Structure 1
Amino acid sequence: MRPLKVIVDQASLRHNLAIVKQLAPKSKIMSVVKANGYGHGLINVAQGLSESDGFAVLALNEAIDLREHGFEQDILLLEGAFESYEISIAAKMRFNLVVHNLHQLQMIEKLKLNHPIDIHFKINTGMNRLGFNPNEAKEILKTLQNKTHFKSITLMTHFATADEPKGVDWQLTVFNDIAKHFNFSHSVANSASIVNFKKTHLDWVRPGIMLYGASPIMGQKSSLLNIKPVMQLKSKIIAIQNLSKNDSVGYGETFKAKNDMRIAVVACGYADGYPRHAPTGTPVYVEGEKTLTVGRVSMDMLYIDVTNIPQASISSDVELWGEHIPVDEVAEKAGTVGYELLCAISASKRVPIEIIHG
C-alpha cells in the first residue's frame, strides 16, 4: 500500500474551538465545515467540533449527512437553496438557509411549507459576491418581518479585508445602518475578524480556517494565535539517489546540483493535493530534521535534500505539513493559501485519512 496518509487530530479541533470561545465568549459559534471539513473529513471534523452551536456547509447532502450522524445543532447552507425541492427538505430537517437574492425568496414564498424555516438574510456590504444590495435590503426586510413561513431571520454579511490593513469598518458601517432598524440576530465574523475585531463578535461568529490550525491572517503564524494544526500530511521515502555536481532531478531539469548531493524521493505529488508549483526550497521534515524540496513536483512524487541527514533512508517518515511544518509555510512558498492545500487533499480522493480521537 502506498505510504501517503493524512492524520486528523480531533483533540486539536477541540483545542482550536476553545480558543474561539475565549476570543468571542458571548457569541454562538457556527463552525464552518464545508469542503468536506476543509479536507479533513466532514464527520471527523464535526465530531471534534461537537461543542459548536451550529455547523455551516455548502451542499444539501453535507447537511443531511450531519443530521443522519446525529448532530442536532443548527446547520446552515451557506449558498442557500438552488432548487425548490431543497427548500422543502431544509424545512423538514431543520436546516437554516442563507437567502442572498430575490429568486431564492420567491422560491420559498411559492412553497406551502409544513414547517417554517430559519433564514440568514445576506447583505452585500462591499465584497460583491453574494447578497442583497444595501439600498434595497431594508425595504425587502420590512416585507419579511411578518411572513409566517419564516421561523427566524438572521442578518449576515461577509468581510473581504478582515485580514488586511483596510479592516472591516467600511463594510460593518453598511451592515449596521441596516441592522439597527430590525430586531434580528446578527452574524458577520469570519476567522480573521474573530481574531482582529472584537466589535464583530455579535450573536454568531463563523470560524473556518482557524479551527483547522492555519492562520487566517497572512504573515501571522498560527502559533501566535495558540491554535494547533489538525492535519498532518505524512509519507515515506521510497528511493535514494546520489547526485554528482550538475546532475538534475525531476522533469525539466529545473534543479541542478551545485555539489554532490543525496536526494530522497517521497511518495506524494500534485495528484495527491500537494501544490505542483511548490518551488525548490519548500520545507519538509524528516528524521527529526527540517530540510527542503528540490526540483519540480511530479504527479506522484517529490524530491528532498537529505545530504545532511545521514539517518534518512528508504521507509523514513516524511512530514509534508502538520506538527513541524505549518501548512501556511508550504502555501506561502507555493504562492497560495493554507485553505487551498487543505481542501486539495480531499479533492484528490487518493489520500486515506487516519483519525486520532484523543
Structure 2
Amino acid sequence: MARPLIADIDLDALRHNYCLARDLAPHSRAIAVLKADAYGHGLVPCARALAGVAPALAGVAPALAVACIEEAETLRAAGIETPIMLLEGFFEPAELERIEALELWTAVHTAWQVDALLAYRPARPLTVWVKVDSGMHRLGFPPAQLAAQWARLAAAGDRVRDLHLMSHFATADSLDPGYFQCQLGMLNALASELGAPTCLANSPATLAWPEAHGAWNRPGVMLYGSDPLESANEASRGLAPVMTLRSEIIALRDLEAGEPVGYGGRWRASRPSRIAVVACGYGDGYDRHAEDGTPVLVDGQRCRIAGKVSMDMLTVDVTDIPEARIGSEVVLWGQASNGALLSVDEVARHCTTISYTLLTGVLPRVPRRYHGG
C-alpha cells in the first residue's frame, strides 16, 4: 500500500473563493494571485480551474498574477491564454523579449526598469503596472518620484499602453485602521493626480475595506480558503478551504503515566495514554515548530499533537478516542470525511507562523489529488 499522506485540492472551493472575492467588489476586475505554485496548490490545475469561472459579474474571466517569468512560462506552456501579470516585473532587460512574446503584463517599480522598457522596441505596446511605495517600504517608487516616471511611460505610446497604478498595503489585515488609512489616502491622492486606474486591494483589503477596491483587485491567500484578517468578518467566514492535508494512523502505542514521546522527550504522559503515529512530518512540509497541543482531526474528532514532529512522522494523543485504529483518517488541516473542519490558520498559530508558510511548504513528495473545477 502507498504511503497514505496526500494533499486533496478542492478546485470547486477555489472557484467559490474567487467568486466571493469578485462578488465583494462587483465594480472591480480580479487578478487571481497564483505565485509560489498557487500557494502550494498546483499552478496549472488552479489556473485552469479559474480560467473556466463564468464571468457573469466581472464581464471577463480573471487575470492571473505570478512572481516571475518562469511561472508565467509554465502557464503559457500549459495552454493558459488568460492575461498574466508579473508582480515583481522583470529582473533583467533581456526578459522583455520573452514578456512580449508571451503577451504578459509587467509591473515596474524602479528606475532602471523604466529605462529598459523605454529602450525596448516592441512590435506592440506592453501593458504596464507602475508600483508606488505607499508605506510598505519594499518595492515601488517613492511618491515624490512617481509623477515623473509615470509621465515618461505615458509619453511612450509606441511602447507602453494601459498604465495602471498599484501598491501594497502593510496592515490591511489589522484591527487598527490607522496606517492602512494613511496609505489609502496617499494612493487615492496620487491616482487622482495622475488620472490612473488602480490595483490596490490584496486579500484582506478585498475582504474588509471596500473603499480600497479599485479598477482591479488582486486576491491571493483568500482564494485558498485562508482568512488573512486579525479578526474574521462576515465575508471571511464565507471562505472554503481548498487544501486538505490528509493521512492515516500507521501505529498505536500505549504508555504509562510519566513516559515521554519523541525527540527530547518534550511531551510526557500525565495519565495512562494512547499515542497514534501518523504518516506526516517535516520532510513533507509539516512545520517542525508545531507545539504540543497543536490540533489534528482523527476520524473527524479533535485531538492534539504530543511530542516533536519528526521528518516522516508525528505523534498524536488519542487517549480520548478509543475507536482510533491503524488506518483511521487523520486531517492535519482542512475538511475531514465527516465534514469536520480544521482551519490551516488555527494550525499556523500553534506553529507560531502564518498559513502562507504551511500551504507553500507542502513538499513535492506529497501527492496532490484534484477534485472539481
Q: For 1:29-108, list aligned pairs within 5 A.
A: 29-50=30-51, 51=53, 52-108=61-117
2:338 paired residue number: none
Q: CA RMSD in A?
A: 1.4
What letter corresponds to residue 350 of structure 1 in structure 2? R
- 1:241 maps onto 2:253 in alignment: yes
2:192 paired residue number: 180
> What is the CA deviation profile of residues 95-120 of structure 1, one whole-angstrom value per residue up to 9, with x for unaligned ones?
01110001111121222222321111
**Distance in structure 2 (CA, Å) of the matches to 1:229 and 1:269:** 21
What letter corresponds to residue 364 of structure 2 in structure 1? K
> What is the CA deviation profile of residues 237-258 of structure 1, one whole-angstrom value per residue up to 9, with x for unaligned ones?
1111111111001000100101
**Aligned match for 1:335, one of 335, 341, 352:** 352
Gaps of 5+ in 1: none
State whether residues 92 and 115 of structure 1, in contact with CA within 8 Å, keep that contact through their aligned partners in structure 2: no
Instruction: State the shift of 1:85 in Å.
Output: 2.1
Instruction: State the shift of 1:221 in Å.
Output: 7.6
**Aligned match for 2:367, one of 349, 352, 357:** 352
**Distance in structure 1 (CA, Å) of the matches to 2:30 and 2:230:** 23
State whether residues 54 and 75 of structure 1, in contact with CA within 8 Å, keep that contact through their aligned partners in structure 2: yes
**Distance in structure 1 (CA, Å) of the matches to 2:82 and 2:364:** 28
State whether residues 215 and 222 of structure 1, in contact with CA within 8 Å, keep that contact through their aligned partners in structure 2: no
**Distance in structure 2 (CA, Å) of the matches to 1:223 and 1:310:** 38
**Aligned match for 2:298, one of 279, 286, 289:** 286
Q: For 1:252-331, list aligned pairs within 5 A.
A: 252-323=264-335, 324-331=341-348
3-state SS of paired residue (2:267): coil
- 1:138 maps onto 2:163 in alignment: no
State whether residues 201 and 213 of structure 2, in contact with CA within 8 Å, keep that contact through their aligned partners in structure 1: yes
Q: TM-score, length-normalised on structure 2? A: 0.92
What letter corresponds to residue 358 of structure 2 in structure 1? L
What letter corresponds to residue 242 of structure 1 in structure 2? D
Q: TM-score, length-normalised on structure 1? A: 0.96
2:244 paired residue number: 232
Deviates further, 157-166 or 259-268: 157-166
State whether residues 206 and 212 of structure 2, in contact with CA within 8 Å, keep that contact through their aligned partners in structure 1: yes
Instruction: State the shift of 1:36 in Å.
Output: 0.1
Instruction: State the shift of 1:222 in Å.
Output: 8.8
State whether residues 120 and 159 of structure 2, in contact with CA within 8 Å, keep that contact through their aligned partners in structure 1: no
Instruction: State the shift of 1:313 in Å.
Output: 1.1
1:20 paired residue number: 21
**Aligned match for 1:125, one of 120, 131, 134:** 134
State whether residues 208 and 233 of structure 2, in contact with CA within 8 Å, keep that contact through their aligned partners in structure 1: no
